[in-house]
Amino acid sequence: MKKKLFVSMVLLFSAGCDLGFPRIYVNYDHLPEGEIKEFIIKTFPNDLESNELGNLIQLHLSGNNSAENIRNAASRIGMICQTEKDFCEYNGYIRTRATGGYSGSGRAKHIYRIIIFPNAGVNSLRVDEKIVEDTEKGT
61 and 68 in contact (C-beta within 8 Å)?
A: no
Q: How far apart are CA 89 and CA 116, in angstroms?
A: 7
Residue 61 lies in a domain: yes
**Predicted TM-score of the model (pTM):** 0.75
pLDDT exceeds cutoff 60 at 13: no
Number of domains in the chain: 1
pLDDT (tens digit per residue) in 71-102: 999 999 999 998 888 999 999 999 998 877 65
The region, left, alpha or beta by phi > 0 then psi within -120 to 50, assigned to residue 34 is left
Q: In b/e form, how buried is each residue of 11-43, taking b as 16+ CB within 10 angstroms?
A: eeeeeeeeeeeeeeeeeeeebeebbbbebbeee
Is 109 a domain residue?
yes
| 11 belongs to a structural domain | no
Q: What is the pLDDT of residues 28-57, one digit of tens each?
A: 999 999 999 999 999 998 888 888 888 999
Q: What is the pLDDT of residue 98?
A: 83
For residues 116 and 128, the answer to whether their CB atoms sit within 8 Å is: no
Q: Which domain holds residue 32?
A: 21-133
Q: Is residue 100 part of a domain?
A: yes
Domain-located, residue 112: yes
Pairwise CA distance, residues 31 & 114, whole Å: 12
The terminus-to-terminus CA distance of the chain in angstroms comes to 44
**Residue 139, domain member (yes or no):** no
56 Cβ neighbours under 8 A, 6+ residues apart: 35, 36, 39, 77
pLDDT at 134: 76
- According to DSSP, the residues that pair with 27 across neighbouring strands are 95
